Amino acid sequence: MAIIAVGCGKAKVEVYHGTEANWDYPKTVAILPFSYETSITEQKRPHQILRAVFFNYFSYLGYTDIPIETVDLKISPLIKAGTSIKDISNAQLMKILGTDAVIRGHVINATNFTAGIYAETSIEAKLEMVDLRTGDLLWETKHTELSTSSIITPSLIDMIAEQTANAEVNKAYHKVSESFILKVLAKVPDPASLRHEHVQLPRIISIDSNIKKNTRLLPNDVIYVSMKGDSKLDAHFDIGSYKTRIPMKEVSTGLYTGSFRIKKGDQTNSSIIIGSLSNKKGLTAKKFYKKGLVFIK
């Protein structure tokens, strides 16, 4: 590993609204496509790499972020109509994306070259997070991350390794993006601890089934499962990991039922029936039916 000249020190993140005093800090965030200076060739894709790496690491913080593919899909009609990302208003974004906040990114400069004993990859970018509900700028940063390898690298072995690696453009950008993002995220407000107490899974009161003993089931036998819990949610049951996501239907308020008919060739041993109830936030509750196991010959 090289002790090469990496980065330009720590990232400076200007935080205008921290999580400490702000209990209504944004929870849902969309990472918009990063723009880039025209001097950067599209083929190099540093803006896309930086965005993807940002998304991967940002999800570690206590925000609910929507996948970048979903963001792209939702804003694509506007982009296709010729609207630039920076020209989409906060109100429009909130309506289209349904999030509390967005992350905007702009790559100012990006370099990647290897020449003789010198190799360099750098990304200079500006990032900011905007509260769509109020229009407030929550934090912003302008940072340059630089990775170089040359005769000043402490060892020859590292120098050779770094220069070889630098020739793989995407990997080199990815590596620099990682350093960039880690430095920035270390200073970005994290509302995780504020949300711990508010996490609540859907409620499952009970689960029942007609499997009462360790009886071996035969083709054409039917496993019936019923579950009681919060109403108007998505319900399904699993037979261990053998058959999963067998749909259940809400037959009366909070009462869900589903069934599985054994077919010829089905086979499982000691599988447990598990009921699941999922809400729109993507949280799922599970309950095990423990009065009997499923054995299928």
Partner 1 sequence: MYFYKKINLTYDRPLYSQLINTLLALTLAFQFTACSANLQSKVAGNLNQMSKQQTVAILPVEIMKKGQEETGEMLRQGLYANLKGAKFNLLERYVVDGLLKQNNLHNPADFLKINPMRFAEILGADAVLITRINKVERSYLVIHSSIEIGISAQLVDTRTGEILWRAEQTEQDYQGIAKIPTGISSAILGPIQFVTNKLNLHRMTSKLVDKLTAIVKNPEDANKKETFEETLISSAATRDLEKIKDVASLKSEWADDVSAYTEVPPDLIDRKNPLLVKPHKNQGSLPSKINWRQRKTNLKPAIPQQETTITPVQKLKQNQPPQYTIQVGAYKTEKNAHQMVNRLLKKGYEAHIKSELKQGTPLFKVLVEKFNNKEKAYDLANKLINKENLPSFIVTTAR
**Residue number with CB closer to partner 1 (60 or 113):** 60
Burial class from Cβ neighbours inside 10 Å (0-12, 13-18, 19+) for residue 265 reads: exposed
Q: Which stretch binds partner 1 (CB under 8 A): 72-80, 97-105, 125-133, 157-165?
A: 157-165
Query: Minimum distance from CB of 2 to partner 1 (Å)?
Result: 9
Query: Length of the chain, please?
Result: 297
User: What is the maximum alpha-carbon separation in the chain?
Assistant: 75
| Nearest partner of 210 among 259, 248, 244, 247, judged by Cα | 259
Query: Minimum distance from CB of 108 to partner 1 (Å)?
Result: 22
For β-strands 204-209 and 222-229, DSSP reports them as: antiparallel
Out of 155, 164, 170, 231, the only residue in the binding site for partner 1 (CB under 8 A) is 155
Judged by CB under 8 A, does residue 29 bind partner 1?
Answer: no
Residue 204: both structure tokens together: 């499952």
Out of 80, 86, 213, 263, the only residue in the binding site for partner 1 (CB under 8 A) is 213
**Residue number with CB closer to partner 1 (60 or 77):** 60
Of residues 252 through 281, those in contact with partner 1 by CB under 8 A are 252, 255, 257, 259, 261, 270-272, 274, 276
CB atoms within 10 A of CB 14: 12
CA pair distance 28, 45, nearest whole angstrom: 26
Total residues contacting partner 1 (rule CB under 8 A)? 82
Judged by CB under 8 A, does residue 153 bind partner 1?
Answer: yes
CA pair distance 175, 60, nearest whole angstrom: 18
CA pair distance 100, 93, nearest whole angstrom: 10
User: What is the separation of C-alpha 202 from the centre of its chain, rounded to a whole number of angstroms?
Assistant: 21
Query: Minimum distance from CB of 112 to partner 1 (Å)?
Result: 18
The 3-state DSSP class for residue 1 equals coil
Burial class from Cβ neighbours inside 10 Å (0-12, 13-18, 19+) for residue 5 reads: middle
**Are the CB atoms for 224 and 211 separated by under 8 Å?**
no
Query: Minimum distance from CB of 87 to partner 1 (Å)?
Result: 30
Out of 15, 33, 57, 109, the only residue in the binding site for partner 1 (CB under 8 A) is 57
CA pair distance 295, 269, nearest whole angstrom: 5
**Residue number with CB closer to partner 1 (83 or 257):** 257
Out of 41, 60, 89, 167, the only residue in the binding site for partner 1 (CB under 8 A) is 60
263's CB contacts (< 8 A; 6+ apart) are: 219
The 3-state DSSP class for residue 185 equals helix
**Residue number with CB closer to partner 1 (12 or 245):** 245
Query: Minimum distance from CB of 129 to partner 1 (Å)?
Result: 17
Out of 12, 95, 203, 291, the only residue in the binding site for partner 1 (CB under 8 A) is 291
Out of 24, 98, 170, 288, the only residue in the binding site for partner 1 (CB under 8 A) is 288
x-marked contacts with partner 1 along 170-209 as a string, rule CB under 8 A: --------xx--x--------xxx-xxxxx-x---xx-xx
Out of 25, 36, 55, 139, the only residue in the binding site for partner 1 (CB under 8 A) is 55
Query: Minimum distance from CB of 280 to partner 1 (Å)?
Result: 14
Judged by CB under 8 A, does residue 157 bind partner 1?
Answer: yes
